[in-house]
Structure 1
Amino acid sequence: MTNNKQAEKIILFILEGLIYLSFLTPFIFINGSISPFVVGKILFDSNKLKVEDLSSGNSIFNVWLKEPEFSNKKGEINFIGGHGGGWQGEGELFKIIFSATNEGEAELSFGDDLALYLNDGLGTELNPWQQPAKFMIQGRPQDVLPKDEWSEILGNDSIPPEEFTIEIG
């Protein structure tokens, strides 16, 4: 059963902008006052964009049943995740690092099979408002040097992963 009153509180969006033939890092956010579990797919124009990497390091999700994974051939990113203890507010789900392969307009959108479930003990399904993002990809001006921001971020990352143990039973 869909809960439209709660769905009005959830907004999924992808930051948009103007990019050159280089890397960009859009963020996927949940903005709302409830805690969903998300089964999702992000679609992208594989003729203009190529996923180079995905990062869930700063994600609000602490449970991934399916870590974000991509197919450049299909032009899609699939994921299943949530926050076991609940979440309120705005936060990043994961970063997508693209390289632009051709000039022109490119769009990122959520697939029709996107599903959000409340952390209400019943798993109530929501229909969130979704906002696709459009990017205008242009050739890099000669006076702008190429920059690989993602490699810089990775190179400056000196925080080791937290140790944890999974116990079942």
Structure 2
Amino acid sequence: MTKILKFFLFIIFYFLLSGPAQAAELYFEPRPATYMVGDDFSLSLILDTEGQSVNAVDINILVPKLLRVKDISKDGSILQLWLNEPSFLSAASGMTIHLAGGIPGGAITSKGTVAKINFEAAAIGEGNIAFLPESAILLNDGQGTKLDLKTTGGPLFEVIPKPKTAEAVSSRPEKPDETQKERTDRKKPARFEILFGQDPRVFNGEKFISFFTTDEASGVSHYEVKLEKEPFKIARSPYLIKDISARSVIKVRAYDTEGNYRESVYPGLLKRFWWWITNFVDRLRL
């Protein structure tokens, strides 16, 4: 009787004194379903930090041969600093996707988009998209603590044959239909800031800038960076900064797929004006 009582007391105290397990969840939305060969579709990779602040992710995903990865979009991502551009490579069992980046200052989210992945259904069969065990989500605790990772990836999906359809007939037989691409997006990408950073894991501890924005209508195409009197160059974030003076002016342009661009300048207008004043005063003293 005494042993049984001790056992139940142990169980009670264990659950009372044990804190909640630190964990985060990754899953795809919408859930993979049924596709036809040749179909293009997109899945958003979602992160739920379950009330905890996280500042870095390193995610590896295995995609079966039934699917082909077409591209990966960072638009709308909660990640503000990408250690590497999202990548995908062919592997013996399919394709692997690697996503690695950070969130300066950390973030708590119940439904944060990490990336949007565009697929093509390539072959008939059933399969699943799986998270590899080396994937990690890091706490914003200054120590890089790894959270337990719950992955709700891997629901089964099916690729079926495309049904045969009658050949389409032109509405104007004397002149085949032509698709004319009209420019419908005339808005610039969203405003953004140029952030300075320095991290031993990035560029061997050298200083760099990072930048990120979105474009709701057509998506961000690319970025261009201009240092001092140099011409604009196509660039990616983070961007290594070398041999610049303490009062260098840096410009970054974000272009959307329709050619509209938004330009940000570092430092801001007030600081540049202050530089101009101090330079003017220094010259008067000469």
| Alignment TM-score > 0.5, same fold | yes
1:107, 1:80 → 2: CA distance? 22
**Deviation readout 1:86-113 (Å, 9 max, x if unpaired):** 2222111001111111011121111111
Stretches of structure 1 lacking an aligned partner (at least 5 in a row): 144-154
**RMSD between superposed Cα atoms in Å:** 2.4
Stretches of structure 2 lacking an aligned partner (at least 5 in a row): 1-18, 166-182, 198-206, 208-286
1:138–1:99: structure 2 CA closer, same or farther, 3 Å change rule? same
TM-score, normalised with respect to structure 1 = 0.79
Select 2:131's aligned residue among 96, 110, 126. Answer: 110
TM-score, normalised with respect to structure 2 = 0.48
What is the CA distance between 1:142 and its match in structure 2? Answer: 4.3
Q: State the match for 1:28 in structure 2.
A: 45
1:131 pairs with 2:152: yes
Higher share of residues assigned helix: 2
Pairs within 5 Å for 1:1-169: 5-7=21-23, 10-14=24-28, 15-21=31-37, 22-31=39-48, 32-36=50-54, 37-45=56-64, 47-73=65-91, 75-89=95-109, 90-133=111-154, 134-142=156-164, 159-160=188-189, 162=191, 164-167=193-196
Higher share of residues assigned strand: 1
2:159, 2:99 → 1: CA distance? 26
- Radius of gyration: which is bigger? 2
Percent identity over the alignment is 28
| Aligned length in residues | 153
1:156–1:44: structure 2 CA closer, same or farther, 3 Å change rule? farther
1:159, 1:52 → 2: CA distance? 26
